[in-house]
Amino acid sequence: MKILVLNCGSSSLKYQLIDMENEKVIAKGYFERIGNYDSFVTHKVNGEKYRYDVIARDHGEAIKFVLKQFTDERYPVIKSLNEIAAIGHRIVHGGEKFQKSCIITEEVKKGIEDAVRFAPLHNPAHLQGIKACEINLPGKPNVAVFDTAFHQTLKKEQYLYPIPYEYYEKYGIRKYGFHGTSHKYVSLEIAKLLGKPIEELKIINCHIGQGVSLCAIQNGVSVDTTMGLTPLGGVAMGSRSGDLDPSVVTYLMSKENMNPAQIDEILNKRSGLLALSGISSDNRDVERAIAQGDERAISSLKEYDFIIAQYIAKMAVTMNGVDVITFTAGVGEKGPISRAGICSHLTFMGVLLAFNLCTQIVNAILIYYFKYVTGMESLFSVFNFCILAEMAGLMFFPKVAKKLDRPKVYTLACLLVVLGLGIIFIGGFIAPHNAVIVALGAITLKIGSAFSLGITTVSIADVIDYGELKF
């Protein structure tokens, strides 16, 4: 049985075709800039990547092109579209009406349309995707999976805002929460990983990508989350402001003579890490600037990490404790530097990363070596070199972790550290001013340290387990 999974964004389409007999993804891709003259799709099949410049005026045209790729004679993955048994649609906002996934009917489509007021960019795109599938795959069941459904277990005291109750009754203004599919899936994987019933766990899941949301999961259900009426609320994100004093909005609108659409663009597209750093909404770009000594970049990432740590503490208060803290999504899975920065603020809760002492020892060795043995007196240059070397190790770590199990990665990390120390203390003291030896020893040592850092904060399932953390 083949299942097509679609995620229709405001101007994008992510898709996967999955063979459910072995749960293998047989084709996937990403259609970007839908609605623009320069739209294009990246299609991946059989380990190969193909890019096509295709004008797609809407999601319907994009989906029609994608479906043709599945049977294309150059790289067919199915003989006929009839092999697709069903289509799953990720729906950003379901309002209060939908508490679980459901077969899409006319009534369901009406419910998705009613929630357009809360997700004006995403829900119309979802409806276009559903319509396209109904036309191109007639008779096939379409299933809606709602981002908001997982959070329908929130208690009233968790989801109501302290504004006049009439606005909740008239307009449905309340906290809905998002990333529900991610939070639910990760919590179930954690229970499997730990071999414990999910009902016995208090979990804080941190979904950190361009969008960021945290969720407190107790007894297997969502009891608190950070995003609110829309995905703009909560933690500061890549380009979104997150929570802030509401008077900032009214003050700016008054001073800058802005209308709601203009202030919405600022808070959604020009704020967050992008605004703090002045560089980018992408953590990788900011980390590169940090390696070059950019003070604003350093400050922005510190504030970004600190805000997330504050919300982790808030989630712990909701559950009166926490057993497991997990990180997922782009930065959560592939950003050991940010994970370390966040967890450094949580020592009062008992969070302690094992690599901290190792990293400090390695840095002390390198600083001593560079400053006193090689004569490099600029500590600024020393730290830049250390950061660059460590970032190189972190870049390679995800690829290594996918190919080796945890004990083997630990062994590799230890061997690299020993090798790096050997180069520094043997080769370095013989020829202390040899740039090649200096670079080789330091990079080897820091890559080993970075692998140690990575394996401490990443499990095989991309889930981080910090053990028992209770007040």
Catalytic residues: 147
419 close to 427: Cβ distance less than 8 angstroms: no
Alpha carbon distance 124, 445 (integer Å): 52
Burial (Cβ within 10 Å: 0-12, 13-18, ≥19) of residue 109: middle
- The string over 442-469, giving b where at least 16 C-beta atoms fall within 10 Å of a residue's C-beta and e elsewhere, is bbbbbbbbbbbbbbbbbeeebbbebeeb
Residue 257 to residue 132: CA distance in whole angstroms: 41
382 contact partners, CB below 8 Å, separation of at least 6: 366, 367, 370, 371, 376
Q: What order of strands is seen across the sheet that includes strand 48-53?
A: 48-53, 40-45, 24-32, 13-19, 2-8, 84-91, 142-146, 102-103
Residue closest to 97 by CA, chosen among 84, 86, 87, 107: 107
Measured in whole angstroms, how far is the alpha carbon of residue 165 from the centre of its chain? 34
The pair of three-digit structure tokens given for residue 356, joined into one six-digit string: 């901290």
CA distance 84 to 3: 6
Structure tokens given for 110: 């009406």
Tokens of 251: 């003050």
